[in-house]
Amino acid sequence: MRYTIEGEIGVSLDFRITEHPILEFKRGRPVRIYVNGKEVKAHEGETIAAALYASGIKVYSRSAKYGRPRGFFCGIGKCSSCLMRVDGVPHVRTCITPVKDGMKIEYEEYRGQPPVECEFEFEEGRVDADLVIVGGGPAGLSAAITAAKLGVDVLLVDENPKIGGQLIKQTHKFFGAKSNYAGVRGFEIANILLRELEEEKIKSLSSTSVLGIFEEGRKHKLVAVQDNRKFIEISSNAIIVATGASENYLLFPNNDLPGVYGAGGVQTLMNVYGIKPGNDALMIGAGNVGLIVSYQLLQAGVNVKGVVEVMPKIGGYLVHASKLRRMGIPILTRHTIKEAIGKEHVEGAIIAEVDERGQFKEGSEKYIDVDLICLAVGLTPSSELLFQAGCKYAYIPELGGQVAIHNEDLETTIEGIYVAGDVSGIEEASTAMMEGRIAGANVAIKCGASVSKAEEIREESFKHLEALRASPFSEKVLKGKEKVYELWRERK
Amino acid sequence: MTIDEKYVDTVVVGGGVIGCSIAYYLAKEGISVALFEKYELASGASGANQGVAAAQLYDPPLLELVLESIKLYNELERTLPIDFELDKCGSIICAIEERHWNILEERANTLRKFNVNVELIEGAELREMEPSLSTEILGASLCSEDILVNPFKLTYAFANAARRFGANINTYCTVRRVVVKDGEVESIITDKGQIKTDHVVISAGAWSTLIEGLEELKLPISPQRGQVFVTEPIRPLRFRIILDADYLVTATTTSHAERFEDLRLKRRIAAALSQTRSGNILIGSSRDLAGYDKRTTILDLKIIATRALKFLPFLSRINVIRTFAGLRPYSHDDLPILGEVPSIKGLFIATGHCGNGIALAPVTGKIIADLITKGESSIKNIDRFSVSRFKA
């Protein structure tokens, strides 16, 4: 696949997917954007980064110290790899900023030139709600719907242009109980939840980043910025933080080259925006994410050269692994990447076998011709907002990293601040939805809204959660949760 | 770290920039020093400030000390083992209202009498010098000798240099009590053991009053909170330290801030803007008394941001990545407490620097070291900073 770097913009390329076995991509009205003065075609509804990628532009910025190329990585506003100057404003996260006709996008020479022409226009807004939910993924949406149905006045805030979190890019069918969307594809679950959000007339703000949580008398005050320019103050009695997680990096030479992306980021590109991420891919990690995304890459027309897994066993479900094997995709356990090859973009990868101690076996190196390397090596809870709010937290490796200390009811060490989903410990969308329901019901109980009904939902959700965690895959999570609950009991 | 020595000549309590400076100047004179810090070095106010030393903000008697400090910084740049990012960028105090201009003119005359080189610069010329400044700014007083440092690196630079001269720097060790016997310092008790010593220097900033055995001194020190924004790094703009003329009012009005009608002045907020070497812009400043609460507050942050935009309007388009608050040791007459306690031989106090810790760190180290080693300081009338001034 051809890719362009800064100097070659204007070459007419289009990597938008036209045929897909599951998804249909309805593209918005065509618009024109300008990158360093050169016209690039885009569609309404695309983010800047997605539109650039679709045109073959894969370098978005350069590192401050060594000028190394920086590309797309996470696709959901968490990694800051894609910062560009947009209409004069430096350091805009292009992966979550939608295109607008006539938009001027520039490469930043050095860590952001301050804006020169600065019309001093910012807007201010105020919103009040009983409950504010930060993050509109499976946990946040479930919490919002549960609480709203019980009569709580809810506001849902999400920093992405599309609410739905990572569900909107899941094309596989979910497992679990029938009452909890088993057999339904992830993006369809998102649609169901979004429809309920609308039916319940739940207030929501998209493209809005919550920057801080402060104390204001007995209330909480959240500070947020919408569309990079509107300052919003939100007063609330309770907060559910459902900010999800960010993808982990892996250490190897050239791991920062464009072409090395988070598996979830690649999913966003191909399943949300319908853009082919590359021609030949290598997947690092054979957990569920690695296996599922590999299959989805095949559906998007990408040639998956193989999956490597450093552990002696495949981490994900056997059904996902079998699907790949049936397609003839090799899954190599006790193998991992040793180095990415390329100057401005990935041109290949060297993989090698590892021994019992995790050391590379000499002479086992193999060169693979790929232009895409996907990292599916775990997630880290996005706990920053909770740290800032002053919640006590602890490093719990079983839960993926620093986690706000919370109890079974998902309340943190600050009264009225709850967690749900991956931010409370890395798990799955199905458990995230249950945690969302529990947190939502708990807030309803605290607010005194339909208490008996809320208690019923809470108990029922606890049972579902227990059932979902009954598999041996959940042992680690349960151990981590037990540690967190213990810390909560000792919090004083 | 364990304490292997049972006796040291001098114990320094507190590993902020003041304590580390004292340890450095003492160790350099060959004195055996042990410093004790209950957390990490620079974990209090020294790690939560803007790193400014601006002589033109001060009046005598502090002015003399700050001028001496700036002189010492220029030497320390060559002698300390760590580059503490000394930036001789100068400072401007900006007039945004007509009344400010009169104040600046008056101050310039006073400062010149003390050989401080200040220039008054008006509108157009000022904007040529500082193109990022708002057109609302009427003029400014410029002092080219004023400096900026990285306060973390400065603290570590002092500590490392002190170590090289043999000082024993201990972190995560709390000094619980100073033991006084027959009017003389005898030892200190830490959570890891007791050490005999001849001299104890209390330089624990806002936490100095928590040490047992000092109750009779009734140190008039309270924690004073200062809140600061940190922006994302942007290209170094090489602007001077930008100070609001109202800073001259907010810096020293703890006792009577309440009389102001303007909420901003009541909250003691004035703009103070500087850029670190890594490109982040630091936006202050506020001063309030909230006990040991180190959180930032939405009320003050909003006022700080609104005020800062009046000076550097482009900040409206720059992302803030963090806010922090530091707890400064506010002494109840805005002046530091320096020197030996008259009633207890061997007990020295070096705290109460308010928001002037960076401006006073080198000179404080030198004064205390001189008092311990020579019994006198080259700074005249050092007695005026003695704790005894608070006794009725």
Rounded Cα gap, residues A150 and A144, in angstroms: 10
Residue A116: the pLDDT is 62
Chain B interface disruption, residue of A109, A117, A123, A211, most B CBs within 10 A: A211
- One CATH from 3.10.20.440, 3.30.420.40, 3.40.50.2000, 3.40.50.300 for A6-106: 3.10.20.440
Q: Calculate the CA A325 to chain-centre distance.
A: 27
Closest listed residue to residue B361, CA positions, set B25, B71, B69, B29: B69
Q: Which two tokens stand for residue A35?
A: 């990158």
Residue A413: the pLDDT is 96
**Residue A124, Cβ neighbours under 10 Å: how many?**
9
In a domain, B86, yes or no: no
Residue B230: the pLDDT is 97
pLDDT mean across residues, chain B? 94
Q: Residue B318: its chain A contacts at CB < 8 A?
A: 90-91, 112, 114
Amino acid at A469: R
Identify residues of B whose CB sits under 8 angstroms from chain A CBs. 132, 232-235, 237, 279, 295-298, 309, 313-314, 316-320, 323
The answer to whether the complex's ipTM is over 0.90 is: no
Q: What is each CA distance from B99 to B105, B268, B306, B309, in whole angstroms?
A: 10, 18, 20, 20
Q: Residue B179: which CATH number?
A: 3.50.50.60
| Same domain, residue pair B169 and B316 | no
Rounded Cα gap, residues A346 and A88, in angstroms: 30
Residue A166: the pLDDT is 94
Rounded Cα gap, residues B9 and A492, in angstroms: 40
A435-469: per-residue pLDDT in tens?
999 999 999 999 888 899 999 999 999 999 999 99
In a domain, B70, yes or no: no
In a domain, B201, yes or no: yes
Q: Closest approach of chain A CAs to the CA of B260, in angstroms? A: 23
CB contact residues (below 8 A), chain A span 64-103, against chain B: 64, 88-91
Q: Residue B232: its chain A contacts at CB < 8 A?
A: 91, 112
Residue A4: the pLDDT is 47
**Residue B324, Cβ neighbours under 10 Å: how many?**
16
The shortest CB-CB distance from A114 to any of B132, B296, B320 is to B132
In a domain, B299, yes or no: yes
Q: Residue A110: its chain B contacts at CB < 8 A?
A: 235
Q: Do A216 and B317 touch (CB under 8 A)?
A: no
Q: Closest approach of chain A CAs to the CA of B132, in angstroms? A: 8
**Strand B241-244 to B91-95 pairing:** parallel
The whole domain housing B117 covers 91-144+222-331
Residue B184: the pLDDT is 96
Cis peptide preceding B61, ω within 30 of 0: yes
Q: Do A114 and B234 touch (CB under 8 A)?
A: yes
Q: Which two tokens stand for residue A279?
A: 């021609």
The count of structural domains within chain B is 2
Matching residue, tokens 């690695």: A290
Q: Which two tokens stand for residue A419?
A: 């967690």
Question: Stretch B198-223: mean pLDDT, rounded?
Answer: 95
Q: Are A420 and A437 in contact (CB under 8 A)?
A: no
Per-residue pLDDT band at A138 (split at 50, 70, 90): very high
Residue A175: the pLDDT is 78
The shortest CB-CB distance from A120 to any of B279, B313, B323 is to B313
A176 has pLDDT over 70: yes
Residue B137: the pLDDT is 95
**Strand B193-202 to B7-13 pairing:** parallel
Q: Closest approach of chain A CAs to the CA of B314, in angstroms? A: 6
The shortest CB-CB distance from B295 to any of A116, A122, A390 is to A390
Rounded Cα gap, residues B381 and B375, in angstroms: 14
Name the fold adopted by A260-379.
FAD/NAD(P)-binding domain (3.50.50)
Rounded Cα gap, residues B114 and B70, in angstroms: 14
Judged by DSSP in three states, B224 sits in strand
- Burial (Cβ within 10 Å: 0-12, 13-18, ≥19) of residue A327: exposed
Radius of gyration for chain A, computed over Cα atoms and rounded to the nearest angstrom:
22
Q: What is the DSSP string of A370-417?
A: -SEEEE-S-EEE--HHHHHHT--EEEEGGGTEEEE-B-TT-BBSSTTE
| Same domain, residue pair B226 and B292 | yes
| Same domain, residue pair B241 and B265 | yes
Q: Closest approach of chain B CAs to the CA of A161, in angstroms? A: 19
* Higher per-residue pLDDT: A217 or B290: B290
Rounded Cα gap, residues A285 and A300, in angstroms: 19
- Burial (Cβ within 10 Å: 0-12, 13-18, ≥19) of residue A27: middle
B280 has pLDDT over 70: yes
Q: Closest approach of chain A CAs to the CA of B297, in angstroms? A: 7
Residue A3: the pLDDT is 44
Q: Do B295 and A122 touch (CB under 8 A)?
A: no
| Same domain, residue pair B308 and B167 | no
Q: Residue B229: which CATH number?
A: 3.30.9.10
Q: Do domains A6-106 and A260-379 have the same CATH topology?
A: no
High-pLDDT (> 90) share of chain A, %: 82
Range with the poorest average pLDDT among A173-177, A481-485, B106-110, B247-251 = A173-177
Amino acid at B173: C
* Higher per-residue pLDDT: B62 or A178: B62
Per-residue pLDDT band at A13 (split at 50, 70, 90): confident
Domain ranges of chain A: 6-106, 124-246+380-489, 260-379
Q: Are B186 and B251 in contact (CB under 8 A)?
A: no
Rounded Cα gap, residues B232 and B229, in angstroms: 10
Question: Stretch A268-294: mean pLDDT, rounded?
Answer: 96
Q: Closest approach of chain B CAs to the CA of A435, in angstroms? A: 29
Residue A7: the pLDDT is 42
Cis peptide preceding B285, ω within 30 of 0: yes
Q: Nearest residue on chain B to A384, judged by CA atoms?
A: B322
Q: Do B314 and A115 touch (CB under 8 A)?
A: yes
Q: What angle do CA B359, B360, B366 make, to 5 degrees?
A: 140
Range with the poorest average pLDDT among A111-125, A305-319, B36-50 = A111-125
A8 has pLDDT over 60: no
Residue B3: the pLDDT is 54
Q: Do B235 and A114 touch (CB under 8 A)?
A: yes
Q: What is each CA distance from B6 to B10, B29, B100, in whole angstroms?
A: 12, 21, 57
Per-residue pLDDT band at B392 (split at 50, 70, 90): low
Q: Nearest residue on chain B to A222, judged by CA atoms?
A: B298
Judged by DSSP in three states, A220 sits in strand
Rounded Cα gap, residues A206 and A454, in angstroms: 27
Give the domain-ending residue among B285, B315, B331: B331
High-pLDDT (> 70) share of chain B, %: 98
| Same domain, residue pair B110 and B158 | no
Residue A344 per-residue DSSP state: S
Per-residue pLDDT band at B2 (split at 50, 70, 90): very low
Question: Stretch B120-137: mean pLDDT, rounded?
Answer: 93
Rounded Cα gap, residues B224 and A30, in angstroms: 57
| Same domain, residue pair B323 and B239 | yes
High-pLDDT (> 90) share of chain B, %: 88
In a domain, B140, yes or no: yes
Rounded Cα gap, residues A36 and A211, in angstroms: 30
* Higher per-residue pLDDT: A228 or B365: B365
Does the CB of A219 have a partner CB in chain B at under 8 Å? no
| Same domain, residue pair B248 and B323 | yes
Q: Do A211 and B320 touch (CB under 8 A)?
A: yes
Q: Do A112 and B316 touch (CB under 8 A)?
A: no
Q: Do A114 and B317 touch (CB under 8 A)?
A: yes
Q: Residue B237: its chain A contacts at CB < 8 A?
A: 114
Q: What is each CA distance from B94 to A122, B102, B165, in whole angstroms?
A: 24, 12, 43
Per-residue pLDDT band at B251 (split at 50, 70, 90): confident
> Which runs of consecutive H residues, i.e. helices, occur in A300-346?
318-326
Q: Nearest residue on chain B to A225, judged by CA atoms?
A: B319
Residue B235: the pLDDT is 85
B67-117: per-residue pLDDT in tens?
999 999 999 999 999 999 999 999 999 999 999 999 999 999 999 999 999
| Count of CB pairs separated by less than 8 Å, A with B | 54
Q: Closest approach of chain B CAs to the CA of A225, in angstroms? A: 10
| Same domain, residue pair B122 and B244 | yes
| Same domain, residue pair B310 and B228 | yes
Q: Closest approach of chain A CAs to the CA of B173, in angstroms? A: 22
In a domain, B251, yes or no: yes
Q: Do A120 and B319 touch (CB under 8 A)?
A: no
Q: Are B166 and B27 in contact (CB under 8 A)?
A: yes
Range with the poorest average pLDDT among A1-5, A117-121, A405-409 = A1-5
CATH 3.50.50.60 fits A124-246+380-489, yes or no: yes
A118 has pLDDT over 60: no
Q: Are B308 and B230 in contact (CB under 8 A)?
A: no
A9 has pLDDT over 60: no
| Same domain, residue pair B226 and B213 | no
| Same domain, residue pair B214 and B227 | no
| Same domain, residue pair B206 and B284 | no
Chain A interface disruption, residue of B130, B296, B311, B316, most A CBs within 10 A: B316
B160-208: per-residue pLDDT in tens?
999 999 999 999 999 999 999 999 999 999 999 999 999 999 999 999 9
Q: Do A111 and B295 touch (CB under 8 A)?
A: no
Residue A471: the pLDDT is 85
Residue A178: the pLDDT is 72
Residue A488: the pLDDT is 95
Per-residue pLDDT band at A117 (split at 50, 70, 90): low
Residue A121: the pLDDT is 64
